[in-house]
Amino acid sequence: RQEEFETTLSESDGYNFGSTESGLSISYATLVYFLRAVEAEYISDNRYHNSIHAADVLQTLHSLIQMGRGGISEALKKIDEYSMLLSAVAHDIGHPGTNNLYQINAKTDLAIIYNDKSCLENMHAAKTFQLIFNSGKSTV
């Protein structure tokens, strides 16, 4: 089943970050593992900042990249595209459903940890890096 999945992806016309010509050589299994881990970190009870929102942002970015083909997108290296797409997927990971001002005024753990400076944004970045570096599998 895994071989069928990888063959289907490698034959598609989409992004191919696993190819040697991309310079990234990221296996599909590793990417899928990472994406599932990211999805699991989104809070499903959050009415807006959930995994559906992440997929929507990813699709919007994909559309913008595709519209830029032949123009600005041609200036992007594969690593740039890959980084942008991963950022879109994980941009609100673990979002609690409140904003930074609430975090600061309520003196939450996030506000204390990040010294009232972009509490949520720092938490999203930290959670993403934790998944990348501590996943127990090859990093993405």
Catalytic residues: 49
- Cα distances (angstroms) measured from residue 111 to each of 75, 100, 117, 119: 38, 8, 7, 6
- The CA distance from 15 to 13, in Å, is 7
CB 119 within 8 A of CB 111: yes
CB 66 within 8 A of CB 115: no
Joined tokens for residue 115: 């010294």
- The CA distance from 45 to 96, in Å, is 9
CB 97 within 8 A of CB 43: yes
